[in-house]
């Protein structure tokens, strides 16, 4: 047998440990985990903005904006930025839209929250499940139906007006079709 055959390793949350030989004097740490730039593992949405930054949304921990060169991140978590459902950059307007359980947050090119849209600003509901660019504007999915945002304002559609169900979970577009 080779001496390397007698090495015993153990993996733990805080590193990799090694015990040499049968008569080893204990365990020693051989690999130390590196700190993560990400806040959590429960990722619910990902997107890359026009600056090359990675936007990482979490189910219950807000949002991380990771720098384009991957050397640091900025964590944002508040009453509006939690339970992130979708992240949608809008390069022509130099904004990033973040659909959350408590509104549609609009971030500027510097990654600062500038506005949060909800019922008070024309959406059919505060909870936003998805968002998609559509016909020069935006379609917003909610548990109460759809809201279309464009230059003329906000216009909503729900089951009474022809949707099969009010709760819209996800949107898809192809050309000018939703």
The pLDDT tens digits for 94-140 are: 999 999 999 999 999 999 999 999 999 999 999 999 999 998 899 99
CB 27 within 8 A of CB 19: yes
At 35 the pLDDT is 79
Which has more pLDDT, 30 or 84? 84
Residue 2 has pLDDT above 50, yes or no: no
Look at residue 98 and give its three-state secondary structure.
strand
Token pair recorded at residue 54: 């990675």
**Prediction pTM value:** 0.81
At 175 the pLDDT is 86
At 96 the pLDDT is 98
CB 76 within 8 A of CB 36: no
- Report the alpha-carbon distance of residue 169 to residue 155 in Å, rounded: 18
Full strand arrangement of the beta sheet holding 54-58: 43-48, 54-58, 63-66, 73-76
Using one digit for the tens of pLDDT, what is the confidence trace for 11-66?
887 888 888 665 656 888 888 877 788 999 899 999 999 999 999 999 999 999 99
At 24 the pLDDT is 58
At 23 the pLDDT is 61
């Amino acid at each position: 047998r080779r001496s390397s055959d007698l090495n015993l390793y153990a993996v733990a949350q805080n590193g990799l440990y090694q015990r040499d030989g049968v008569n080893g004097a204990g365990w020693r740490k051989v690999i130390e985990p590196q700190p993560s730039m990400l806040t959590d593992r429960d990722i619910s949405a990902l997107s890359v903005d026009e600056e090359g930054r990675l936007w990482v949304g979490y189910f219950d921990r807000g949002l991380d904006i990771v720098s384009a060169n991957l050397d640091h991140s900025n964590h944002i978590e508040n009453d509006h930025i939690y339970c992130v459902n979708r992240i949608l950059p809008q390069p022509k307007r130099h904004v990033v839209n973040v659909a959350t359980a408590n509104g549609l947050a609009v971030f500027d090119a510097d990654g600062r929250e500038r506005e949060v849209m909800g019922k008070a600003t024309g959406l059919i509901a505060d909870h936003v499940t998805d968002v998609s660019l559509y016909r020069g504007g935006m379609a917003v999915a909610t548990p109460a139906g759809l809201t279309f945002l464009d230059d003329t304002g906000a216009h909503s559609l729900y089951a009474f007006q022809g949707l099969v169900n009010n709760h819209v979970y996800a949107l898809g577009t192809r050309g000018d079709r939703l």
